[in-house]
Amino acid sequence: MNIIHIYLFGLGNVGSTLIKQILESQHFFKTHQGIELKIVGLANSRKVLTTADGIGDDWEQEFAQKSITRRSDAFYDFASSYVEVRIAVDATASKELSHFYPELVEQGFHVVTANKIANTLSQEFYDNLRLLLRERDLSFEYETNVGAGLPIVDTIRNLHKSGEEIFAVNGVFSGSLGYIFNRFSEEELPFSSIVLEALKNGYTEPDPREDLSGNDVARKLLVLARETGLKIEFSDITIENLVILDLQTASANQFIDRITELDKPLLHRKSLLQPDEVLRHLGKLDVVNKSLEVSLQVVKKDSPAGQLQGSDGFFEIYSESYASHPLVIKGAGAGKAVTARGLLSDIIKIAKSCPIVIYK
């Protein structure tokens, strides 16, 4: 039996859903794959809990009663007493935590993340992290960086590794914005009310401006661009920001309080649509010309993007083998359940590739 110790950062929508999925699937993984998943560490921004036996269904009560003030080395101290494979899972949107990935690797942790920040920092940080991972023979998995649980990162990575030249990747990169604009184009509801409902249901980032600013989609484009081998920085991306200037620098709470100020400009854009048109938020990666663009576009209702429903993501990959007829990946591109399942798939991928590792 391969015992895997999981250390989870982030206990919000995605983190708590991942815990539920792991606990529900423990017997399945033991019986069918010879893997025992034990969540031995939990941390939020203030508290941390470690437990050698792993958490159970009463984890929320245990965390409330037994967690201690978070220390940066709490997981390291605990892990040093055990030889089991250790996987750090980042279910946060924390910029600060992303900068600690190299330290986690130095301490012998594989890393699984839904957080796109580390993959979209400077090219130097990106390259140095991968060099360190190779030196330590450790894994870094981030399928959920793009498309939640959809296999878009793996597909791009495998095509590139096989020697396939990738020309372009286009589509609806944000299930969150897909959900918002699918509804906004069809329903007579204020834009702000749809955004708030999306936030409540876990479709958007904790601060919806990450989605509305175009930054979240831009990061996804950058993740894929770097998978194709491009050396490029976030600042090279052309991004349309849907947040009005006055709200771009407001606090998160102020933004929510004043979010109705977005209604008028978006309603104006909607009013210009023809009966056969809808609004879609699109990302375009032109690998050949090293061009990345994020913008809100008008598309025909009967186009592939125009036919999307709910929070579906939609990706067209053009390459040597798919030059005239692109490889299309489509499906639920946002939501806590599919994102958590994507994290769990990455955990299992690492677990199956690692026999027992002895840490010295």
Give the C-alpha separation, 341 to 269, whole Å: 36
Give the C-alpha separation, 59 to 56, whole Å: 5
Which sign does the torsion angle of CA 243, 245, 249, 254 carry? negative
Q: Which of 38, 220, 284, 336 is catalytic?
A: 220
- Rounded to 10 deg, the angle between the 191-200 and 175-186 helix axes is 140
- DSSP letter assigned to residue 268: H
Cα–Cα distances (Å) from 107 to 115, 128, 198, 360, in that order, read: 20, 16, 37, 11
Q: Are 80 and 74 in contact (CB under 8 A)?
A: no
Known binding residues for L-homoserine = 205
User: Is 220 part of the annotated catalytic residue set?
Assistant: yes
Known binding residues for NADPH = 92, 116
Known binding residues = 10-15, 92, 116, 205
Q: Are 70 and 43 in contact (CB under 8 A)?
A: yes
- DSSP letter assigned to residue 115: -
Known binding residues for NADP(+) = 10-15
- Return the bridge partners of 315, or none: 171, 329
Strand ranges across the sheet with 312-319: 238-239, 291-300, 277-286, 166-172, 312-319, 327-332
- Residue positions annotated with a catalytic role: 220
